[in-house]
Amino acid sequence: MLINKLTSTFGDHSNLIPLFTKDVVNSTGMTAFSYDAGGKIEAKDRFIDEFGTQAIWMGGLPFFKMAFDKSIYKLAKLSPDVDVRLLKDKEQLNAAQKYAETLKNTNVAETLNDVV
């Protein structure tokens, strides 16, 4: 059960855990090599540099996404759940939002049968 949970967590590309794990392992290795090459001061400098940058990225990206969703999307009257990069035409964007709301809690098979 634990193996399945770990596999699904690391396979989920919308989750930050795989990226966080990779960065921790990478930063730890770089800090260890810096200690071997330059001693304690070099390792301390590398640790601050690597883990500080990691903290900014891991904490900053979700924060700015949340702030952007609550401000820019709200001002533009768009849903942050719709990826606007895929829709260049305003009519397509409005249609996608309309149908996303109507189809949110429906069964896809039933909806396709109704359409066809």
Domain locations along the chain: 1-77, 79-116
| This model's pTM is above 0.85 | no
Helices (H), the chain: 2-11, 17-75, 90-102, 108-115
Contact (Cβ atoms closer than 8 angstroms) between residue 82 and residue 67: no
DSSP-derived secondary structure letter, 8: H
Stronger pLDDT, 94 or 34, i.e. the higher one? 34
Total number of residues shown for the chain: 116
Please write the tens of the pLDDT for every residue from 17-51. Answer: 888 888 899 999 999 999 999 999 999 999 999 99
Please write the tens of the pLDDT for every residue from 38-87. Answer: 999 999 999 999 999 888 888 888 888 888 888 988 888 777 776 666 66
Spell out the residues 6+ positions from residue 51 whose beta carbon is closer than 8 angstroms to its own. Answer: 27
